[in-house]
Amino acid sequence: MPREKPQNKGVTRAKRGSAAPRKSGRERVADQFTSALATEIERLRDQLSRSAARIEALEKSAHEDALTGLLNRRGFERAFAQAIAYLKRYGGSAALLYLDLDRFKPINDKHGHAVGDVVLQEIARLMMGSVRASDFAARLGGDELALVLWNLDAAQMAAKMRALETLVESASFEVQDTKLDVGVSIGGVMLSADDNLAAALQRADAAMYVRKKERKAARE
């Protein structure tokens, strides 16, 4: 009697998909190394970016007056040297203004240095608000300020000095409802391509003292 063939009950075995070939140990190590290397590169990029930001901040603080935000003397020396180099190469005109506050010491003596600092900050703000982006200003120390103005002649320089004096005189500086009496005397000189900072400041400082005497005599 012949044997019966097993009946097909409709159950089929699912075909397995083609499995990805297993990586060798060497390949797995290579993948881990590549991933670790990418992570380290990203970390170093982030560190480099933060270091560059810190360097930029340090360079800025090295050339900027912390109180007023103007250039400090070191920053002004560098900017002035660049200005003279520009005049030598391209020509043009520029003026140096030297500003000294009038009646500032009594404010510090009576109201304290904190109030004096606020006055300096406000004068720096007024000054920068009245010049062009190409001009630059500095606090050289104490209440002594300097400005370099581009593309003007001697008559325009004189008009700018008087306008700045008027601007400060007309500004309202008050503490505890008391108006502070503060002004500024300005001396200016036209710059040449042969100038150096020491000589230019000396001339501007001398012109400022002449102006200070004139202003004091006019008030008496």
Among residues 65, 102, 135, 143, the one annotated as catalytic is 143
Return the number of other C-beta atoms located less than 10 Å from residue 123's C-beta.
25
Which residue is associated with the tokens 């593309």? 151
* Contact in structure between 105 and 181 (CB atoms under 8 Å): no
Please answer whether residues 66 and 178 qualify as being in contact, where contact means their C-beta atoms are separated by less than 8 angstroms: no
CB neighbour burial string for 31-44, b if at least 16 within 10 angstroms, e if fewer: eeeeeeeeeeeeee
Q: At what angle do helices 73-90 and 25-63 cross, to 10 degrees?
A: 90
Q: What are phi and psi of 32, to 5 degrees?
A: -65, -40
Catalytic residue flag (residue 143) = yes
Say which residues have a Cβ less than 8 Å from residue 112's Cβ, sequence separation at least 6: none
| Intra-chain end-to-end CA distance of the chain, in Å | 145
C-alpha dist (Å) from residue 148 to 80, 131, 183: 8, 10, 20
CA distance 125 to 123: 5
What amino acid positions are annotated as catalytic residues?
143
